A = this chain, B = another copy of it.
């Protein structure tokens, strides 16, 4: 039985708590949160107890930690957990600065512990099926990737101000998808964007609509379009063109009802937002983490993947700010 401590009792912490509780061979032990009441409530729900960071990391029975606290705590907790010899699952991003993220990677390497980054999209049934089918050669050599990644609505401007900007906060997932699907690294990035949704986002120094183009070492091309506000909901699609065909990853829907009216033929909108859309992905990634821990299966998303996505986010930010192509 692997005993586990969870850092963070917020929205995503609750998802991980439920998935930890459902994990065979895993004992959900501690919940750590600055909000003590939230920690206690979440712990009680799944048979654990609230605890401090120190207690959790000092307990030798704790073999693994799941970091789902606020972004500014990630680097510190990764470094301390690595020093304590714990296996680490950490939500994206590793940190908002490349420097601290690199420190984390170094700490993990030095400690020789597992460190998985929560790019949950790689564990989504649809997205991972596309990846498998590419690997099986179904579309020949991948050549071009088009990513559509749109949120149903913007977060509060107060959040946007501490988010690191849209490229680090939102597109970091898309940058990871790019690297994973094309199995290649960027050599140049062009990013542009606008504030079309809310002028307050512009005032906060950020964008709400972006268009990014990446070129890889092998000449492959990737285009990413994002918005903070799609009136029709959460839109998470990509398509990859290969020399022998094309694969599209479409949205998931709540039901398979089709309605014929006097006006049109309609189906459900996509699943509401990431908690619904990636419900299965979150469960799969947690199983993947423990499989890596107990069976030695290789991690699909490492701290290096976290660094690489962050580098792309930095490059995109620079490209947008300086209105130029950034070469990596």
Within 8 A of B (CB), among A222-267: 222-223, 225, 227, 229-233, 235, 241-252, 254-267
The reply to whether A227 and B148 form a contact with Cβ atoms under 8 Å apart is no
A247 to B259, CA, bound (A): 5
The reply to whether A254 and B213 form a contact with Cβ atoms under 8 Å apart is no
The reply to whether B231 and A261 form a contact with Cβ atoms under 8 Å apart is yes
A324 to B326, CA, bound (A): 10
Chain B CB within 8 A of A126 CB: yes
Residues from chain B with a CB closer than 8 A to the CB of A192 are 188, 190, 213, 215, 221
A323 to B325, CA, bound (A): 8
Segment of A52-60, A107-115, A139-147, A154-162 in the binding face? A139-147
The reply to whether A125 and B264 form a contact with Cβ atoms under 8 Å apart is no
A147 CB to nearest chain B CB (Å): 10
Chain B CB within 8 A of A23 CB: no
Residues from chain B with a CB closer than 8 A to the CB of A220 are 194, 196
Within 8 A of B (CB), among A154-177: none
Chain B CB within 8 A of A269 CB: yes
Residues from chain B with a CB closer than 8 A to the CB of A321 are none
A225 CB to nearest chain B CB (Å): 6
A191 to B261, CA, bound (A): 28
Interface string of A273-295 (1 = CB under 8 A from B): 00000000000000000000000
Chain B CB within 8 A of A219 CB: yes
A186 CB to nearest chain B CB (Å): 12
The reply to whether A231 and B244 form a contact with Cβ atoms under 8 Å apart is yes
A304 CB to nearest chain B CB (Å): 26
Can you name 7 extra interface pairs (CB under 8 A) apart from A192-B215, A197-B243?
A143-B227, A150-B241, A211-B222, A246-B259, A247-B257, A248-B260, A265-B266
Task: Report the 7 A-B pairs with minimum CB-CB distance, sorted nearest first.
Answer: A194-B219, A232-B260, A250-B256, A266-B266, A264-B266, A246-B260, A126-B255
